[in-house]
Amino acid sequence: MISRRSLCLTALGAATLLAGCDKLGFSSASKPSFQGVDLTGAAYARGFSLPDQYGRTRSLDDFKGKVVVVFFGFTQCPDVCPTTLAELAQVKKALGPDGDKVQGVFITVDPERDKPELLKAYLESFDPGFVALRGSPEQLKEVAKEFKVYYAKVPGKTPDSYTMDHTAASFLFDPQGRVRVFSRYGAGTQALMGDIKALLAGQ
């Protein structure tokens, strides 16, 4: 399920931070035009440190030199999550050799059900190179706060049939590990590919 309120708040927060771009070396004259919301200079979404599907603690430093695409979701998501991951896999394939310079990172908002073995199988069905991150409820709360994303359990008919409401968007980091773009769900593969190409080109 998509949290439109959260999407709007995040976009508004991004807009207020653009004035600080020059401090990081991105002048108004050289600042690229992204399809998504430009987060250059944002003081949030600065990174993560969480165990992956193999139990190894991962952070942005592990992916230096790559464009990193971070998405929050859960394996039992019926539409938004599989669509987003499928689009990213499609973009990686379309980029040819440059696809190896793109890293997908999936952070589960449902650690209760998304056990490591399930995450392995789920991510491999899209791209074996994608990384899944699963923290404790406390760790998830902290990283969600850092990224300003919303998530909440929505009760079902039985205790195990609940779903998750969550922010439906991806965060794009440049090869230097700086957050640069907030890509809204539904923007499509061409918009995502354009922004990834711009970041790979050093914009």
3-state secondary structure 18-30: HHHHHHHCCCCCC
Does 81 carry a binding-site annotation?
yes
- What top-level class would CATH report for the domain 4-200? alpha beta
**8-state DSSP, 185:** T
User: Could you tell me which residues come within 8 angstroms of residue 138 by beta carbon, excluding any fewer than 6 positions away?
Assistant: none
Summarised one tens digit per residue, pLDDT across range 124-181 is: 999 999 999 999 999 999 999 999 999 999 999 999 899 999 999 999 999 999 999 9
Question: In the numeric block, which tokens belong to residue 116?
Answer: 């490591």
Sequence ranges of the domains in the chain: 4-200
Global confidence as pTM: 0.85
Q: What is the spatial distance between Cα 184 and Cα 147, in angstroms, rounded to a whole number? A: 14
Does 21 carry a binding-site annotation?
no
Summarised one tens digit per residue, pLDDT across range 63-117 is: 999 999 999 999 999 999 999 999 999 999 999 999 999 999 999 999 999 999 9
Does 77 carry a binding-site annotation?
yes
